[in-house]
Every structure is written in C-alpha cells, then in structure tokens.
Amino acid sequence: DAGVIQSPRHEVTEMGQEVTLRCKPISGHDYLFWYRQTMMRGLELLIYFNNNVPIDDSGMPEDRFSAKMPNASFSTLKIQPSEPRDSAVYFCASSLVESNQPQHFGDGTRLSIL
Amino acid sequence: AQSVTQLDSHVSVSEGTPVLLRCNYSSSYSPSLFWYVQHPNKGLQLLLKYTSAATLVKGINGFEAEFKKSETSFHLTKPSAHMSDAAEYFCVVTLYNFNKFYFGSGTKLNVKP
C-alpha cells in the first residue's frame, strides 16, 4: 500500500519567496495533519483536517502560513512570504476516523529558507 | 489536560544489552498510547499502540511496552539492542475517541558496538 506521500522532499529558497508543500494522504483516511519539526521546538502540530474541513489551526504560527485540502487526496501547506525561521522539516500524516487509530507519517519536506 | 513526559532525552546502550525508554503521561480520560520511531531523515514509524486491551503490548522489531495505570507509565523495552535500533523514539498520548496526538519530546537512542 502506498503510504503518505509528500513533495518536494527538499526545498531551498530565498526569504520572501512563496513556498508550497504538498501531501497525498493514504486513500480512505479521513484525518490529515500537518506538523513542523525543529531541534528547538520538537514536533509541533500546525493544523489538522477532518473530511477536508480544517478542525484546529491553532498551531499555525502566523498569517503567513495557510493550509488547504481541496479534496480527500490532496493537501497543501503554503508559506508566503517565507522567512529563515521557517526552516524546518514539515511532516504530513493521515489517519482513519475510528478512534485511537495511529497516524501514518510521510517522509517529510526539509525546508531551508536562506 | 493531556501531556506526555519522556524522562530521558538521550539513552546509550551497548549492542546486545536491554533497552528501556521511559514515558509518563497525564490524562483526564482513558488514554490511547503509542510509540513511534524516527530514523534520520525519515518520517515517524509506528512501533506499537495501546488502546485499553492487553496492558503488555508487543510491537515491531522486538519492542514491547507495558501500560501501568497506577504509575501512569508506558515504558518501551527491548531485550537486546541492535545497531539498527539507533534512532529517536517518541511517546504519544491521545484521548479516546479523539484524534489529536500529544507528543513527548523524544528520546535519542544510541547503540554502541
């Protein structure tokens, strides 16, 4: 079975540029999560969706960050404009709607903002 | 409120010796608990999960964990460490019937030859 697929795997760009990260969840999963991982702050939940609807975006750091899920098989996380402090590894995860189901993680996008 | 505490940020063992990674949780409700492993430059992989069935849970790669409600602990163990076990391990708690995960800060396991 295909797992969660993220693209790109690596992104290097200059500050001020728009960055778009993409995620394809596992087919049939109802929940989708975006996380950010840094050495200083560890794993942080940014936002999650249920059936394509954003449920909790309290972890989104500021208005420069936005996330969409136009359909059940695709989500984007956008940063505009990007700043060096946004450099991190961004993970997407998905899970089934049944309670207590584990989240399945993609391999992440390593983002470097110069 | 829910939270999870991993008591050691780094653990170092010799190959062939037992592994113990400690995790304590707090939860107002019956929790579900998970252990994930993260190898360098990879995503998080599920090792095992506890969801109110047997208190001793067996996972992949020879790992197991025991849920102890009286101690609010969910420690991860393995009888004999292998070099390939070197990675970062995360303990996770979630509420029953709710999908939001609360991650521990992680424990980096070093395995010496």
pLDDT for A74-91, tens place per residue?
Answer: 999 999 999 999 999 999
Residue B55, pLDDT score: 87
Question: Model confidence at A99, in pLDDT bands (50, 70, 90)?
Answer: low
Dihedral Cα B32, B38, B44, B45, nearest 10 deg: -70
The answer to whether A48 contacts B44, with C-beta atoms less than 8 Å apart, is no
Nearest chain B residue to A33 by CA distance is: B100
Q: What is the pLDDT of residue B54?
A: 81
Cis peptide before A81 (omega within 30 of 0): yes
Q: Do B99 and A99 touch (CB under 8 A)?
A: yes
Residues of chain A in contact with residue B106, where contact means CB-CB under 8 angstroms, are: 42-43
Cβ count near A41 (within 10 Å): 10
Q: Flag the least confident range among A14-18, A98-102, B4-8.
A: A98-102
Say yes or no for a CB contact (<8 Å) between B101 and A104: no
